[in-house]
Structure 1
Amino acid sequence: MAKATESWVCQACGAAARKWSGRCEACGAWNSIVEEALPSALPGGLDAKASRRKSRAPEFTDLRGGEAPPPRLPSGIDEFDRVAGGGLVPGSALLVGGDPGIGKSTILLQVVAALGRAGRACAYISGEEAIDQVRLRAGRLGLGDAPVKLLAETGLGDILAALDAAGRVEVVVIDSIQTMFAENIESAPGTVSQVRAVAGELVRYAKRKGVTVILVGHVTKDGQIAGPRVVEHMVDTVLYFEGERSHQFRILRAVKNRFGPTDEIGVFEMTDAGLSQVPNPSAIFLGERQEDVSGTAVFAGIEGTRPLLVEIQALVAPSALGTPRRAVIGWDSGRLAMVMAVLEARCGISFGPRDVYLNVAGGLRIAEPGADLAVAAALVSALADIALPRNMVVFGEIGLTGEVRPVTQAEARLKEAVKLGFDRAIVPAGGAKRAGSAGITEISRLADMVQRLVGDEVGVTTGRPPRNR
C-alpha cells in the first residue's frame, strides 16, 4: 500500500487531519486547514529506517557534572536583563512576540548593539528588511558604530552556512521566524510546517554550538504568537511585548523562563532615540494622577519580583441602553463582574441601570487577584462621587462571601508605597507584619472598607443587603 505524501494541517493550532474540512476539530478555527507535503516525501526528507540504521547509543552522564555552567551574558540594559533572569544564557533559545510596530526589532537591535560594544560577537539576521533599512534604523538610534554582523536572508540552509562561515558568534537574532523557510519543506513561509521545522533546527543549532538564539515572532489578532504552540515549548524563554502603539510605555513580560522567574516585567518608554528603560515605573504610572477626583484608587501590586504601584480608574455613568455597558481595559472583565456582584449581594450597593467603565492607567495589564479590593474601592468612589485620600494604597483579594483575603508579599507592597510618599493603606487582616501601625487599616470584610470610605453615601450601613431591595 502506497504511503501518503500529503497531509492536511491546521494553520491555527498545527493539528493534522486526514482530509480537508472547513472547520478544525482541534481548535474550532474555520478555513484554516491547508494541504502540505510530508518531509519524508521530499528530497532530503526524513527516513525512519535510515535514521534507525545510523543511530548510535548515547552515553549517560552524572547529574553533578564536571564543569561549571557558562556565565550569563548581561546586555547592560537592566530592564531586559531583569526579564531574561539576569542576562542571556549561552546555548538558550528565546522567543519574543508582540504586536506589529510595538518595538520588538528596536529593543533587540539595542540589545545586540550593547552586547557588541561589550566585546560579544553578535549577528542580526533580518528576513523583513534589507541591510540598508537596518542600517538606517541603527543610525537613527545612535547605534551605527556598533560591531554587529548583519545579514538579510530567509533560507534556513543559507543562514546556517553563513553562521558557520562567520566564525565565533555568541548571540543571533532572527527577525522574524515567520519569514524563514526550510528548503526541504514544500510549503510557504509562515505555515505551521515551516515555522515548526525552522524553529526546531535553530533550537538544535543553539544547543549544539552554545549560541544564544533570539527568535522574533508575530502575534495573531487575539494576542498569541502566530504559528503552532509547539514553538513555545521548544524554546527556553518566551517574552511578550505589551502596550499600545499610541502610548509611550512598553511592557516586556516573561511568560516562560527556564533560567529565571516568570511573570517578570521590564518597563520601557518609546522615545525618538529608541526604547529607554524606566528604572522606577511606579512613579511614571502615577505621574499624571490628579487630585480630588472620584473613581480612582492606587493599587500596590507585584509583577514578578518587583512591587509596582498603578492607578485604577472607574467611571459609573447613567445608561441610555436597555443593557448597561461593562467596558474594561487592562483587567479581566469576568473578575469585574464578580466584584460588582459581591458589592451588590454583600454590601447592598446597586449599580442598577448604569454603565461601568474600568481602566488601568499607563497601559499596564493586571492579572493578579490582589487588585480586587482596589477595583472595589474605585467603583464605590465613582458611584458615591467621593474622592479617596490621595496618599492611600489598597490591595487585597475578595471572596464571593464578601471576605477580604490576604495576598503575597504584602510587606514589599507597603515598602514601595512608603517610598513614593503613601502613608495610608487598606490591607487584608493579618496580611502584613506592619499591619496595625499608623496609617494602615486592616479589614476582613468588604463592607468594612465601603463603610470606612463612603459611609452612608451609597446606602451602606451594615454588611447585609437592605431588606427593601
Structure 2
Amino acid sequence: MAKLLKTYVCQSCGAASSKWQGQCADCGSWNTMVEESAPAASPFAQKHHLQKGGRRLSLEALNVETALPKRLSTGIGELDRALGGGLVAGSATLIGGDPGIGKSTLLLQAAGLIARAGPAVVYVSGEEAADQVRLRAHRLGLGNAPVRLAAATSVRDILTTLGDGAAPALLIIDSIQTMHSDLLEGAPGTVSQVRAAAQELIRYAKETGTALVLVGHVTKDGQIAGPRVLEHMVDTVLYFEGERSHQYRVLRAVKNRFGGTDEIGVFAMAAEGLTEVSNPSSLFLTHRDEAVSGAVVFPALEGTRPVLVEIQALVVRLASGATPRRAVVGWDSGRLAMVLAVLEARCGLSFSSCEVYLNVAGGLRVSDPAADLAVAAALVSALAERPLATDAVAFGELALSGELRPVGHAGLRLKEAAKLGFGRALMPTNGEVKAEGLSLSRFRTLGQLVDHLLGRG
C-alpha cells in the first residue's frame, strides 16, 4: 500500500519542507508553514522513469512565420496602454492592488464597455453577491450592459457552467484567492488551492481562446498574496497603485509577454468611477507663482511615457547632540543615503546635523535612476535656501565618484518639458541631445552643479 506523505508548505513563498518549522528557510517569514497532504508515493512510481511511454512531440522550426496575436480593446485607453494594446485572446492577466483601490471598479467598467461593443463577457465574483456587483454597475452608468454575472467560488461549478455554451471573449475572476478546487484539501487562499484554481482557469482560457483576468489580493508589503508561481503562470501582471487619500491611480505593468513592461496607465477617481488622465503631469506638478527652495521638477520616464513630477526636499538644522531623521516618501531611502554621502564626500556639504525630508508630490512612486540629479539639486536648494527657477527641470544619474552619468531617452524628457512650458534643463553632458525652446545647462560632476546652484566660481 502506498505510503501517505505529509509536507509543510509556506503560505508566503510556496517553499515545501518535510518537517514543521517556525520560520521559512527560503523567505524568512514566521508562522507560515501549513501542513498539506502530498501525493502518495508507491514503489513503482519511485522506480519508474519517464523516458518511454509518452506522446511524441512535433518539433517546429524557429523561423516559421507567425501572425501577431489578436487583441481585444477594452474601450479604456489607459488600460489598453498598460496591457500593450489590449487583451490578447487566450491570455491570462493578473491584476493586484490594495483593498479599495479600484480594481473591481476598473474591471467592471472594462467589462461593460466590451459587452456593449458585442463580445460576450462573464464576470464571476467570489467576494460579493451578484446584486452588489449590479448596484455598482448602475452607479457607473453600466446598468444596461449585457454582462453575465455570477457569484461563485467553486472552480468546478464555474467551468461546468462555461462549458455548456460558447466560450466568452472575456472572463473576469474576482478574486483568485477566493476560488476553491475540490480536487485538493484546504481552505481557499492557501498555496495549493490558489495554484490549482489558477491552473485550471488558465488551461480553460488557452483551450478556448478566452481572455482571462484574475484579481489578486496583496500582502502588507504590496506583493500579490499566495505563491510566487502564480505570477509566473500568467502572461501579464498589473499592479494598481495609489493612495486612497489621493485622487489619482496608477496601473503599472511589471510583466507582459505580449508587450512592453514598466508601462503605466493613469486614472483619476471620480463620482462616476475611474476616468482616464491623458496628461499625467498635470496631476503631479504643483502650480505656484513664486519659486520655493527645495522644489525641483523631474521629468520621469514611465515605460514610453514621460511624466513630470515635483521633488520636494526639506532640511532642518538641529542642535548639537540630537539624532537627525531621514524620512522619504515616494523614493528609495537607500538611494537618498547614497546621494547625501556623495554630497558630503565630494561636494563639501554637511548634512550630518540636519534632518532631511524628501517627498515626491502627488504620491507617485519614482524608481527611475535619473532622479538622482533632481534629488541632489533639491537637497542643495533646501540646505542653502536658494530656490531654483520655476521653469527649470533636472535629471541625471549620480555615481559614487560624484560624476554625472547620462540617462536614456533624454530627448523624450526634454520634449515633454518644453511642451509644458519649461525653459531650461539641468542635465549631464549627454552627447548631442538638443531641444527646441529649452536652454540646456550641462554638468560633468555633481560639484559643478553645486557650484552653479550656489553661485560659486
Normalised by the length of structure 1, the TM-score is 0.92
Cα separation, 2, equivalents of 1:76 and 1:352: 53
Number of aligned positions between the proteins: 453
> Per-residue CA shift, 1:173-207, capped at 9, x if unaligned?
11000000110110010000001111111111111
Cα separation, 2, equivalents of 1:66 and 1:392: 49
Cα separation, 1, equivalents of 2:293 and 2:283: 21
Match of 2:166 in 1: 167
Cα separation, 1, equivalents of 2:66 and 2:325: 61
Match of 1:264 in 2: 263
Match of 1:106 in 2: 105
Cα separation, 1, equivalents of 2:188 and 2:22: 22
Match of 1:377 in 2: 377
The code of the aligned residue for 2:328 comes to V
Match of 2:78 in 1: 79
Q: How does 1:24-39 map to 2 (within 5 A)?
A: 24-38=24-38
Contact 1:39-1:185 within 8 A present in 2 as well: no
- CA shift, 1:411, in A, is 0.5
Name the stretch that deviates more: 175-184 or 423-432: 423-432
- CA shift, 1:55, in A, is 4.9
The code of the aligned residue for 2:277 comes to V
- CA shift, 1:39, in A, is 5.3
Cα separation, 2, equivalents of 1:149 and 1:445: 61
Contact 1:39-1:184 within 8 A present in 2 as well: no
- CA shift, 1:337, in A, is 0.4
Give structure 2 stretches of 5+ with no counterpart.
Answer: none
Aligned to 1:356, the other structure's residue is in SS state strand
Contact 2:311-2:375 within 8 A present in 1 as well: yes
Aligned to 1:369, the other structure's residue is in SS state coil
The code of the aligned residue for 1:434 comes to K
> Per-residue CA shift, 1:194-251, capped at 9, x if unaligned?
0111111111111111111011001101111000100000001000011101111111
> Per-residue CA shift, 1:53-102, capped at 9, x if unaligned?
98533333444557734421111211100010011111110110111111
Normalised by the length of structure 2, the TM-score is 0.94
Match of 2:274 in 1: 275
Match of 2:124 in 1: 125
Cα separation, 2, equivalents of 1:264 and 1:114: 22
Contact 2:3-2:40 within 8 A present in 1 as well: no
Cα separation, 2, equivalents of 1:296 and 1:39: 60
Query: Quick one: structure 1 residues 164 and 243, their matched pair in 2 at CA, closer, same or farther if it must change by over 3 Å?
Result: same
Match of 2:176 in 1: 177
> Per-residue CA shift, 1:157-188, capped at 9, x if unaligned?
00111111242301111100000011011001
Cα separation, 2, equivalents of 1:424 and 1:56: 66
Aligned to 2:239, the other structure's residue is in SS state strand
The code of the aligned residue for 1:122 comes to V
Cα separation, 2, equivalents of 1:149 and 1:54: 44
Aligned to 2:370, the other structure's residue is in SS state helix
Give structure 1 stretches of 5+ with no counterpart.
Answer: 462-469
- CA shift, 1:319, in A, is 3.8
Match of 2:234 in 1: 235
The code of the aligned residue for 2:341 comes to A
Cα separation, 1, equivalents of 2:225 and 2:430: 44
Cα separation, 2, equivalents of 1:385 and 1:328: 20
For the aligned residues, what is the CA RMSD? 2.3
Aligned to 2:415, the other structure's residue is in SS state helix
> Per-residue CA shift, 1:255-299, capped at 9, x if unaligned?
000111100011100111111010010122115456321110000
> Per-residue CA shift, 1:413-457, capped at 9, x if unaligned?
00000000001001110245217986111111111111112225x
Contact 1:411-1:432 within 8 A present in 2 as well: no
Cα separation, 2, equivalents of 1:388 and 1:427: 14
Contact 1:315-1:356 within 8 A present in 2 as well: yes
Cα separation, 1, equivalents of 2:97 and 2:83: 16
Match of 1:225 in 2: 224
The code of the aligned residue for 1:439 comes to S
Cα separation, 2, equivalents of 1:33 and 1:185: 17
